[in-house]
A and B are shown apart, each in its own frame.
Chain A
């Protein structure tokens, strides 16, 4: 029997780096301290905030909603609203929406569900089919990631949010780090910090990751102990993603060499500091998309580029040279000729 290092009750968790074991009560205390320390360390929230919690209906985001809701009860200046983006993935999203509503209603948290269909006119399933028909070189997760991030920012702003909290945990972060090393994407690595969007753009909502230093195993245990663990439904597009393989490799390393994930996180935080000193990487000020007016890394945002390539958005004539310069595939007959 493994017993809690603090009170001697049966343990539910062992921190393999410190060797300390925790019972249910002391695990929840350990978890709370760890998240609060992360929030404080990276100055994630001010005294007065309208926190929009991005919720997918999965265990991590339900845990974040549960955690921040209870934390906000102790902070008079905080308001919490949950936001779920419905991509329209048949057989997956309907189930996760049920779990989301169950938890949001139990907690009494206000929520908003915003759909790809509502904002873009098409579900992700339709978009993936259109992309395949047009032989576009993108994976489902590429469309989903771009459109989801676009909507999270836009709808969080429409809701009057001052900060957007996402449930990315330590595992997610180090997986993305390794994926970006493989892709040689240092411009993306520089944006993998715990707080993003500090550079001012009037339409950009600051993003924070309160679970930045929390292992996925810990967020999962938090969800089980608080009865939040959802009916296990897997996104049908997930196995198409390289993340699947990288995750398994990192988990094998962690099992053999405990502490690998924390080491990778420290490596990431160091490299971000080095990269900030390189002018062409750090200068990237946020621009405004010439088509939709949303914040963007380029003159035209990625969400508009995808929509143009899919043939569901007519580009205005004046941006054609810029699109051609960016190598965007413009389907024939979709250029907007109106002045």
Chain B
């Protein structure tokens, strides 16, 4: 089973590229928890890892690239 690239941080960015976060030691952390760490609510984003939608309960792996699609939009 693929367990990610050991030691690499998890990168999280908004789909429009306007914001990006890097989390060290995120392996094993649930995606929703990682969002909370950077001050975001998982209620407000759809989480995509390597092109696949994942749920907030999904555990992150070293080196994961996460893209967030905002649920809330102005307009």
Contacts and interface: CB of A to CB of B under 8 A. Distances in A.
Interface in A44-66: 56, 58-59
Interface in A216-252: 216-217, 220-221, 224-225, 229, 231-235, 237-239, 244, 247-248, 251-252
Given A96-B75, A217-B46, A221-B46, A229 B53 contact: no
Nearest to B44: A251
B46 to A, nearest CB: 6
Given A58-B73, A232-B70, A238-B75, 16 more contacts: A13-B53, A14-B55, A14-B57, A21-B55, A96-B75, A217-B43, A220-B46, A221-B53, A231-B16, A232-B69, A234-B74, A244-B74, A252-B41, A254-B43, A255-B41, A255-B43
Most chain A beta-carbon contacts within 10 A, residue among B52, B54, B73: B73
A1 interface: yes
| B-side interface size class | 20 to 34
4 closest cross-chain pairs (CB), A and B: A238-B74, A235-B75, A12-B53, A234-B74
Contacts of B38: none
Given A232-B15, A252-B41, A56 B58 contact: no
Interface in B32-58: 41-44, 46, 48, 52-58
Given A2-B58, A229-B69, A58 B75 contact: yes
Contacts of A284: none
A13 B73 contact: no
B72 interface: yes
Contact of A59 (B43, B55, B73): B73
15 contacts: A2-B55, A10-B54, A11-B55, A14-B56, A21-B55, A56-B75, A216-B72, A220-B46, A224-B53, A229-B15, A235-B74, A235-B75, A247-B72, A251-B41, A252-B43
B46 A2 contact: no
A234 B42 CA distance: 20
A239 B69 contact: no
A143 interface: no
A232 B73 CA distance: 8
Nearest to A27: B53
A78 interface: no
A24 interface: yes
A150 interface: no
B6 interface: no
A247 B70 CA distance: 13
A237 B58 CA distance: 35
B15 to A, nearest CB: 6
Contacts of B53: 12-13, 24, 221, 224-225
B73 A255 contact: no
Nearest to B30: A2
